[in-house]
A = this chain, B = another copy of it.
Amino acid sequence: MERVAIFPGSFDPFTIGHEALVHRGLLLFDKVIIAVGYNAAKSGSFSLNARMAMIKKVFADNPNVEVDSYEGLTIDYCRKKRIPFLIRGLRTAADFEFERTVAQVNRAMNNDIETVFLLTDPEYSFINSTVIRDILIHKGDASSFVPSIVNLSDYINK
């Protein structure tokens, strides 16, 4: 039986921490669907199209990674796709408390969904999308925090 998991997030933008986590998820699952959550009312720094294009480029050669998008609650998306596993990365204790709340709400609303937590590599533990957006706002260089194949300037204002 094929085991599939969803790796949901806003990925605004996708970081090297996210990339490493997908590779770890592929050890555990036959297929990982990277699902970009968006909110029509809140535009984000990168457009949904830019975020999906960026991720597709990173995993262009990997047939076990699929890129999708969804609006609304993550668990409604899981239910619609009939996929019971979610992958989430953990970096810090604050992360943990937030993710625990989300996972417990998901379980209370749909007991069939299981969240699998993987640890972020220590050398990536300080990297997150907020940090990158902050660097870009202040016109700094964030290239070392995104997958090497991604040139962030290709995706800004796209």
Contact = CB atoms under 8 A, between A and B. Distances in A.
Nearest to A135: B73
A97 B100 contact: no
Contacts of A75: 140
Interface residues of A, number: 46
A148 interface: no
Contact of A114 (B24, B104, B144): B24
A128 to B, nearest CB: 8
Interface of A: 3, 24, 27-28, 71-73, 75-76, 84-85, 90, 92-94, 96-97, 100-101, 103-105, 107-109, 114-119, 121-123, 125-128, 131, 135, 138-141, 144-145
10 contacts: A27-B84, A28-B85, A28-B116, A71-B138, A90-B117, A101-B128, A109-B135, A114-B118, A117-B119, A123-B123
